[in-house]
Each structure stands twice: as C-alpha cells, then as structure tokens.
Structure 1
Amino acid sequence: MKYIELIFQAKEEEARKHLVVVKPFSLEDEKDSEHAALNVIRRIFSLLKDVRPGSDLTDFTQLPPQLNQPRSQLQVYGEMIYSFGGQDLLGECSRRVLPIERLKSVVTWNISKLRPIIFGLAPYNPILGETHHVSNGHINVLCEQVSHHPPVSALHATHEKENIDLTWVQYFTPRFRGSYVEVEAKGKRVLKLLTRKETYEMEQPKLIMRFLPAAGGHWAGKIKIKCPETDLEAELHLNSGSFMERLRGNDNRSIKGKISESSSGNKLYDIFGHWDRTVMATNMKTNEVDVIYNAKDNISELKPPIVKNQQEIMESESAMVWSELSEGILKKDWERAKKAKKAVEEKQRLSSKLREAAGESWVSKHFLVVKDGKDWDCSPLQPMVPRAPLIITEPH
C-alpha cells in the first residue's frame, strides 16, 4: 500500500514539475516569421478600436491566446542575459586590462541584448511572485515579478568566474500613438565589475510597435552607459528607420554612437553599424577600425534551457506557471489555451483576495523592493545568484 502511495506521489510531483520552455527567438527565425500578416493587424486594431491616442496601455493585458507568444515576459528579460551563441561577452567586460577596453566590452554586451521583435505577438504578463531561474556556463540569472499592478520585474545576474554583478528593475509605460504603440522602459540597470571596482549605469531604449504604414517592431532611442570610476561614458543612438528607408531596406537597425571622457567630452571612439549585422568602432587617435560585434555569432541558433535538476525547480518558475497555456498555443488548441490562461489569472486574483482579507501584503522572496512615488528600485537579498535547475550549458 505504501509503495502505491509513493507512486501516486511521484506522479503528482512529476505533474507539478511539468515545464514548457520554448526556443528563444533567433536572428534566423525572422525569415519564417509571418506575424505581420493582415489578420494579426486586424485583430490588434479590433482590440484598440476604443482606445484613444496617448492612452496608457499598462493595464491593457486581456489579450486572447492567439496574440500571445508561448513564453512569459520574465523569460524574455532573462534570455537577454543567459541566451547567446559563441563568446561569453558578459565575462569579457572584466577580462580586459585597460579601462577603455572594458567600456568597449560593456558597449558590445549592451548591443548583444538587442533582439529581433516578434510583431503582433506579446509574451504573457507575469503574475506576482513569478520567477525565472536559468544558468549558462558561469552566468546565473534570476528574475522575479515584484509587482503586478503596475507590472514591475526585477533581475539579478552574477558571473561566478569573473566576479560580475548585474541588477535590473524594469517597468514600462506603453502608449497608443494612433499608428503605433510606444513602449518606454524605465528602471535602473547597473553592471558591477567587482574585481575592477567599477560600476556601469545603463539606460534602456524604447520599443516601437508600428501598424501603419508598414507593420513591424523596432528598437529606437538612446542608450547611455557611464562609469564614474574611469571617467568614461558611451552614448548609442538606435534608428528604427523611416517608412521610406524601410521600403529601400536602408538603416532599419542602424546604430551610431561614441565613447568619450566624461569630464572633458573628448571623443575616443566613433561607433557605427547595424545591431542585427555588425558594429564597428573607429579609434579617433589612430583611425583604426575594429569590428566589436557580430550579431550572427551571438544571436543565431539560440537554444532553450534544459532541466538539470527537476527537484530544485520552484513552483513559481515561469515555465511551469504557464506550461498548460504554452502547450495549448504550440498545439494551436485555442480552447485549451483560453481555459489555461483564465485558470492562472483566476488563481492570482484569488491569492490577492486572500491576502487582502488577512490584512497581509505580498513580500518579494528574492529582492528588497522600494517604491518612491512612481519610481521603483530593487536590491537582491543574496549577493550571488545560485546555480539554476534550468541550464543552457555547464561551466567550463
């Protein structure tokens, strides 16, 4: 009898630990992407027909499963850090000997986080307390949804071998502009090279989802990177391209910028290229030109995480929270997907009501969360992110 009970417990545990982790969207996947089709655009406009231009879309989350990617926004954030091909660009930031070379590496790593956008399909809005924990080599990444209304995500990543610490807090304001949606991302992004005793503060670009006259998603705006300890900074400008430029195939994803001394403004490097192809840096003293980034080497043929340790997977793991919905979307079983999405949302609403009835506030498990007016800040509760039960590769 005890043996039968153990079997049932094992089956329940296996069901509870069911995960669905999909492959990251890679550079080569764009060739097969059909998400800008007219039926998608019509569906989007039908959802936005009563929304006025300039309106805040933060709470506009009731998308049908047909307009969802089979992944949570937390996974999208995490992929920017742990999902890459070829060289470990994050670790390279600390390996460089000269301060100027380290800043160039930080610039290169920032460019590598720019990924193609799937137009017309949105990731799931994470539930409160949802987590995503993945390791790739020496890089360990932990994300947590620390607020649901408004949606705020926190990320902590550490590089075990190179003693690097990265913290993000991300919250955004999507606004409907008539022919496009503008998503302004806010929150601190801080990269610390602990061995070098250097801190790099980084800004975030905007995301533009355009419907007319040509549909597509593009990164735009400015990225500024500053290191007070070395008196060096970089400024990058992303160009999403005008309608006519996109028709001609010109500068759709161009990037231009510079590396300078903060105090004097003296320009040391000129940066130019395309973030989905190659980016170059010209030394202003020697006029030498180096390729500092090759997108094909870094964001092609990306692999999904695999389960390394089933027992250590948290119940809050994103790939488990949304597994039923993701399977429904992948199999195009829209009725199953609709029920699964409703079940997750209802469970979250019930948890919120129970906390409210008990007079309790939700507390983040992995971050100290501070809200100051409309601004948010998050500090990791642990100095190092532990090895994750989901991995891309083992450390060398």
Structure 2
Amino acid sequence: MSEPKTPTPTPAGDTYKGWVFKWTNYIKGYQRRWFVLSNGLLSYYRTQAEMGHTCRGTINLATATITVDDACNFVISNGGAQTYHLKASCEVERQRWITALELAKAKAARMQAESGTNAHQGGPAQNSEVQSALRTLGSKVEDLSTCNDLISKHGSALQRSLSELDSLRLTGEAGDKIRQVTERATLFRITSNAMINACRDFLALAQAHSKRWQKALQAERDQRVRLEDTLEQLAKQHNHLERAFRGAAQANASPDSKGEAQKEREFHSSSAASTELILILSPRRSSSNVSGFNSEMCPDDQSLNEEPLAMNQESPSQELLPLRKRRTRIPDKPNYSLNLWSIMKNCIGKELSKIPMPVNFNEPISMLQRLSEDLEYHELLDKAAKCHSSLEQMCYVAAFSVSSYSTTVHRTGKPFNPLLGETYELDRRRESGYRSLCEQVSHHPPAAAHHAISDRGWTLRQEITVASKFRGKYLSIMPLGTIHAIFEKSNNHYTWKKVTTTVHNIIVGKLWIDQSGEIDVVNHTTGDRCHLKFAPYSYFSRDVARKVTGVVMDKDGKAHYVLSGTWDEKMEFSRVMQSSRGGENGAEGKQKTVYQTLKAREVWRKNPQPDGAESMYFFTSLALTLNESEDGVAPTDSRRRPDQRLMEEGRWDEANAEKQRLEEKQRSARREREREAASQRSATAPHDNYQALWFERCEDRITGEQVHIYKGGYWENKERGSWDGCPDIF
C-alpha cells in the first residue's frame, strides 16, 4: 500500500501547518512529522491528533537562524540548543516554508522588541482602538517589507543566474529570451520597491492623523458617560419623587375623598408594578442642577454613579435596586520568558520549604478564589432546589459536581497559596441570590474552608486539603475532603468528593490537564446514590475525550437515570426504562449492565469563553470578576493581597519580591505563635495554637470527619464595618 501524497502546507491566518520530514537519527533517518507555525513558534507532532495534548518540540523563531542546504533541505537553529534538519517533498514546498518562516521570524522579533518597549510605557492611549489599528497597520507594512527583502534576495539570485547565462554568449533567439527575462526581473524589483514605499507613506499619514482620531473618540466616550450618569440620576429622582408623592397623598387623604384616593393608589400601584422606566431627557438641562437636586433628595446614593438599575421582579412594590457592573477584562498576560536556570540557581543552599516559587507559574487568583469558582454554575443547584423528586434532584447535583471541572480545561497556571487567615467573600446575593465565604484555616497541612448559602433554598460547604505527587512526566493533584449540599425544602443532604487532577508534560512539551477517577454522590436522607466515572485520556482509546458517565440509583440499587457527557462541555441525563445484564466486560469477567432509556435531555452546558480569554489566563466570565476591587471587604480578603494584584497588573518582578516578603512574614508569625504556645502549653498541647476566625473545628455528624464549619458573624461584621478581630497578614 503506497503512502498518501504529502499535502501542501495550508495557512490559516497567522498559522501555517503541513507535513515535513525531520531528521531523527542515523537509524531511522528522516521521519514525517506534522509541523505547526504559530505566534513565532514552530512546533511539531507525530500526527495531527497529537495537537491537542502532546507537543514533541518547539523552537522560538525570534532568535533562530534559517539556512538552506539544497533544493529540498533546510535547517532551523537557535544557537545550538535546538536544531531541526528538515526536508520538504519538493523545492516549491520548501520555498513556501522558507517564506512563511522568514515572515514569522520577523514578526516574532518585532513583537519581542515591542513588549520590551511597552514594559516601560503605559497609559490609556496605548490601549485605545486607534493605537491598536495603527499597530496592526504597522505590522502589515513590516510584513510587506520582509516580503520585499525576500523578493530582493531571490531577485538578485535570479539576476546572477541570468547574467551567468548571458556570459555564455548565446546567440539568436535564446539570447533575446534571456535579455527579456532579465528586464522583467528588474521591472519586478522596481515595482515591489514602489509598493513598499507607498505602504510606508500610508502608515505615515495614518500616524499623522492619529491624534485627531483619538480626541474624537475620547469626546464620544465622555459624552456617553455623561448621558449614562444623567439617565441614572433621573431614574433615582423619579423613584424618590414617586415614594414622596405616595406618602404625601396617603397623609393628606380625607374621608370625603376615599374614592379619589383609591384611584390614586390604584394608579401608583400599577406604576410601581411596571418593570420599565420611561424617562424624557432634556439636553438643555444642565448637569449641575441634576446633581444638586439629587444631593438634597438622596445623599446616600452618590456611590452608585456607575451601576445599572434593576427591578426586583418578585416584589414589585420594592424600590429599584442598584446592581454592580462587573468587569469583563483584565490586563493581558505578559509574554515573559521563564529562565529555569535562574530559578535553580536561587535554590542552591536553601531549605526546600523556603524556596520561593516565581509567579511565572501562577495565575492572578488565589486558591480561595479558585474554590469559589465551583459556584460558576450555581443555577444547577437552584433548579435542584425546585425538584419534587429526589432522584431527579440527584441528576442536577451530579451535574453540578461535574461542572466545576469545566473551568480547568485550559487553566495550567497554579493559583496563589493562601496565607493563614486569608479570606475571600463572593457576594452575589442581588444578582444570583447567593453569597459565599472562604477562609484558610490551616497551613500545615494547607486547608481551606468554604461556606455558601442561597436565598433559593440550598447551602454548600466544604473543606479541601490538596495532596500532590510528582511522577516524573506528570503531576497528580488529589483534593482531600468532602463537599456537602443541603436543600432546605426537602431536607436532602448530599455529599461527594473530588477526583484526581493530572497535569501532563511537566518537564517538556505543552502542558495539558486531565481529570480521572470516580465520584459517589450520596443522598444521606433518602439513601439515593449516583456513581460517576471520569475516564482518563488514552491515546489508543476510541471513546470521546474527557468522557463522564454515571448512573442514579435508589437505596435498593435500582437504576432510574443514566448520565453521560464530558466534563469540559456538557452533561445529559436519560430516564431508564429497562436494564439487563450483558456479556463479560474486561479481563476480570465482570458483567456490564445495558440500559434502555428514553431520549436524553441536556442538564448542563458550559458557558462560552469570553473574548480574548487566551490572553487572560483562559479565565471564565466569573473568574474575571473574582479579583476585582470592592469596598467593605475584610482586610484579609484575597483582593487586598499585594503580590497577586501586582501580577494581575503585569508587574511580575515586583510581584515576586512582594510574594517573598509575605511568605517570610507568615513564617515569622508562625514562629511567634509557637513560642507563645511553648510557654503556655502542657506536654500534650498542640504546637500551634492558631484558631480560625470565621469557622470552628468540630466533628461532622454525617461523615464523622473533623472539619471546619462556618460559625457566623462575618456578614454581620461587614454590615457594621467592624474588622477589629482580623489579623494583619498583608
């Protein structure tokens, strides 16, 4: 059977892909590999299927040299550390790759230079759309300039070859053809130079007019902000005037005008029940009069200038409630190179516990915030709280347990380790009806307690301790602890544990994450159980990647629902009509059960990623808001952590220094506690007398484990603004 013809490499935007032969060793010689050129990096794989998980090698073209050996062979090297000897199937294909590589190399070098320049410059003007457009135009002109250099180089080679032919003194028709080709090559070079010069003139004109475009754009933005502020102020005035008029009408109503007062009340109640607010804006009314009138009527609402207004649909008689406008972007992740040798050099002679890990491995949120991300799909618990059947409720709870892993599929960064006593609150009571609190309750071993409560009838609590094992090529992360979900209406109490997370290609290659293991979701009230299985990724498996399957059974072991899907996309459940034993499955001789089900219904689907998520650590819409600054939070809140904030802003060197300072401060506080405990304790007393502030340690009545459970007081202290008992950890 003959080998299929090698396809021509295909461009896709800034990406170039195709089959190329790569020299491996003297035994195997050249082997066909799938090469991908993207963002200034040339990577290769054994097959196209490996692109999602296993990269065999990558070379940075910004500092690489590209040389041509012969008609089909070419070499790429970055100074001796990496060298690829490649061979194309023909000379034309080799030339296509050379052109694409030269363009990518020029672009990578230019981006590296711009990143160095942008590190010392800042300001909102550089982030504007105009500047972005200008940079794009400049990039395209640079590409054209690179093409011009390539054309000049190849044109010169062509002219030399033609001159050599001309020197042979060919006569007749052959000599005339050679002279004609030489003239055409010269005209082609002149035309390409003229094209490049015209593009440069266009860029100069665009830069000359950029200031005027920026001023016009800023004026439009300012006008929009002023109109939004005016609209909001008028809405609040309308609300306060309506309440004042209603109170005055009730106070002045006489017995003789009961009918008229009744009509007025009916009119105002119907107005209050409306969910729309109609306003007439007068452009001639000065903004000073509006703000002055509002300061007299509602001085407490001045802090709500940038918040949209929403109506509480469940109680139309309530006033308009302001909703905070959450951010949708964070600063892009800087393109900093990671020098492993400098990290190893700093570790020489230090204790293992005192080695500072740089923030290059992190993402700008803490483990407490990552724990709060479990509530990304809280609506599953809202739906579960409304279910009348405990078995159907189990399906939603099981889907919720799977949904928490969907945020990890591209998240290879490590969250910041919380300091002892660090807290994080997530208050979404107005938007989604719930609020949660996390606290780092132990440092050795590290443990975090989490408590969330919803106005829609459910409570979620957990205490998680993470154990990890490095196994050479991959890192296994095993969360220890039990998650509890309690529903108020049905009094159903569910528990489950998390599966093992595996980070592959720790040493070399592209990092990728897999989830594997089994989850047993148990309803301790009714005895119902759901067994979920997360299938590990296998290169030779024919199953769908990241597959999850499960069966919901009652206390007698009878199956009622079957769940299936993937932990990174969606889950479905089907009602079981009949089950039967099939043939033997596997080497152990176990019989697998075959279920006959009704049509599957989708119970959960992953939300789409925000625009530009790949440059923002692949954060979800919720994760983008987790580290947003908020007033009134505790001084120990993760939002106030300085090293994490510096990393989010792109100031990684300062973040590393601040991270080292905080860790040393935590060690000093621990030594001080141990000295105090040593002077007071008996021989059997614990070494460290630290006690959590918002959680208390007790025995769980369901599992019998020693856990930390929320004891109350946080939200009450927040309302009073009293944080006297909080430690100084930052």
Q: TM-score, normalised by structure 1?
A: 0.75
Residues 169 and 376 of structure 1 are in contact (CA less than 8 Å); yes or no, is this contact kept in structure 2? no
Structure 2 matches for 1:77-92, cutoff 5 A? Answer: 77-81=371-375, 83-84=376-377, 88-92=379-383
Given candidates 574, 598, 601, the residue that maps to 1:287 is: 598
Aligned to 1:329: 647
Offset of 1:62 from its aligned partner?
3.4
- CA deviations 1:67-109 (Å, max 9, x no partner) are 111111111001212x34xx72222221112111211111122
Aligned pair in 2 of structure 1 residues 340, 300: CA closer, same or farther (>3 Å)?
closer
* Range moving further from structure 2, 88-97 or 350-359: 350-359
- CA deviations 1:336-371 (Å, max 9, x no partner) are 111110121122122222222322711101111259
Aligned pair in 2 of structure 1 residues 200, 182: CA closer, same or farther (>3 Å)?
same
1:379 aligns with 2:705: no
Given candidates 362, 366, 370, the residue that maps to 1:72 is: 366
Aligned pair in 2 of structure 1 residues 314, 34: CA closer, same or farther (>3 Å)?
closer
Residues 368 and 424 of structure 2 are in contact (CA less than 8 Å); yes or no, is this contact kept in structure 1? yes
Offset of 1:275 from its aligned partner?
2.1
Residues 232 and 260 of structure 1 are in contact (CA less than 8 Å); yes or no, is this contact kept in structure 2? yes
Aligned pair in 2 of structure 1 residues 241, 338: CA closer, same or farther (>3 Å)?
same
Aligned to 1:11: none
Residues 461 and 485 of structure 2 are in contact (CA less than 8 Å); yes or no, is this contact kept in structure 1? yes
Offset of 1:319 from its aligned partner?
1.4
Offset of 1:314 from its aligned partner?
0.8
1:156 aligns with 2:451: yes
Given candidates 125, 130, 146, the residue that maps to 2:441 is: 146
Aligned to 1:314: 634
Residues 459 and 487 of structure 2 are in contact (CA less than 8 Å); yes or no, is this contact kept in structure 1? yes
Separation of aligned partners in 2, 1:98 and 1:174: 39
Structure 2 unmatched ranges of 5 or more: 1-325, 578-596, 610-618, 678-687, 720-730
Aligned to 2:394: 103
Q: Which of structures 1 and 2 has the bigger CA Rg?
A: 2
Letter in 2 for 1:304: T
Separation of aligned partners in 2, 1:170 and 1:384: 20
1:275 aligns with 2:567: yes
1:304 aligns with 2:625: yes
What secondary structure does 2:526 align onto? Answer: coil
Structure 2 matches for 1:1-396, cutoff 5 A? Answer: 43=340, 62-81=356-375, 83-84=376-377, 88-114=379-405, 115-118=407-410, 120-136=412-428, 137-162=432-457, 164-211=458-505, 215-244=511-540, 251-262=544-555, 264-285=556-577, 287-296=598-607, 301-302=621-622, 303-305=624-626, 310=631, 312-320=632-640, 322=641, 324-359=642-677, 361-370=689-698, 376-382=706-712
Letter in 2 for 1:184: M
Offset of 1:266 from its aligned partner?
1.3
Residues 119 and 209 of structure 1 are in contact (CA less than 8 Å); yes or no, is this contact kept in structure 2? no
Separation of aligned partners in 2, 1:256 and 1:295: 17
- CA deviations 1:147-191 (Å, max 9, x no partner) are 1111111101111232x2211010021001111111111112111
What secondary structure does 2:383 align onto? Answer: helix
Residues 385 and 456 of structure 2 are in contact (CA less than 8 Å); yes or no, is this contact kept in structure 1? no
Separation of aligned partners in 1, 2:358 and 2:628: 29
Q: TM-score, normalised by structure 2?
A: 0.42
Letter in 1 for 2:643: L
Offset of 1:268 from its aligned partner?
1.2
Aligned pair in 2 of structure 1 residues 327, 192: CA closer, same or farther (>3 Å)?
closer
Structure 1 unmatched ranges of 5 or more: 1-20, 26-31, 51-57, 390-396
Letter in 1 for 2:635: E
Separation of aligned partners in 2, 1:176 and 1:196: 43
Offset of 1:283 from its aligned partner?
1.1
What secondary structure does 2:370 align onto? Answer: helix
Separation of aligned partners in 2, 1:43 and 1:254: 35
Paired residues in the alignment total 338
Residues 133 and 143 of structure 1 are in contact (CA less than 8 Å); yes or no, is this contact kept in structure 2? yes
Aligned pair in 2 of structure 1 residues 385, 117: CA closer, same or farther (>3 Å)?
farther
Higher RCO (CA-CA < 8 Å; seq separation 6+): 1
What secondary structure does 2:607 align onto? Answer: helix
Aligned pair in 2 of structure 1 residues 130, 328: CA closer, same or farther (>3 Å)?
same
Letter in 1 for 2:460: L
Higher strand share: 1
What secondary structure does 1:71 align onto? Answer: strand
